[in-house]
Copies of this chain bind each other. A is one copy, B any other.
Amino acid sequence: MADTHSLEALVQALRRLPGVGIKSAQRMAFHLLQHDREGAQFLAQALQQAASQVCHCSLCHTFTEQDVCATCADARRDRSKLCVVETPADQSAVERTAAYRGLYFVLMGKLSPLDGIGPRDIGLQKLFDRATDGTVHEVILATNFTAEGEATAHVIGEALRARGLRVTRLARGVPAGSELEYVDLGTIAHALVDRR
């Protein structure tokens, strides 16, 4: 296939997507070119549109097409609470619970020294400025319960407590609907310690 430079280029471009190897990229290229050229054009336009239009909310750092995102601009939200999450997907998981009416700060990442991601890369100074602007009374740390998420929560928690803020963390415990027999021991131990 020496004369199919644009096919080769497409396979290489698809390989830059996370979780896509050479076989998947070839399968995707074959599918698009053989069965869904409209989908290829549609994806090309969506990529260009998103790459040129989507920026970060100046308040919470999430993806938006305005200067301030719809959540931050919503006057009905409780401005005294700030929930810190890693990604827009985590934010939308919290939103779907309908159990939180405060505002968010989206780190767009997590502290990960092994990958060279430090406090500056996830905009911690911006978070500290935002949290100490006088309107925020409580910061809820909702980073993931992974090693890196916990470390990120720890660093942020220490820094904000030192500035006199009330800092809380999502409760650890047994997931709803689960049977103790099948829950891992670390989770049960945490649920025992945090019992209420």
Question: Chain A residues in contact with chain B, CB under 8 A?
Answer: 1-7, 9-10, 12-14, 16-19, 24, 26-34, 36-37, 39-51, 53-54, 62-66, 69-70, 87-89, 91-92, 108-109
Q: A50 and B29: CB pair below 8 A?
A: yes
* Among candidates B2, B17, B41, B92, residue contacting A51 with C-beta atoms closer than 8 Å: B41
What's the dominant secondary structure at chain A's contact region?
helix
List 14 A–B pairs whose Cβ atoms lie within 8 Å, in order of A's numbering. A1-B88, A4-B64, A7-B54, A17-B43, A18-B27, A30-B88, A30-B89, A32-B47, A33-B63, A40-B47, A40-B50, A41-B48, A43-B43, A44-B51
- Which B residue's beta carbon lies closest to that of A70? B3
A171 to B46, CA, bound (A): 46
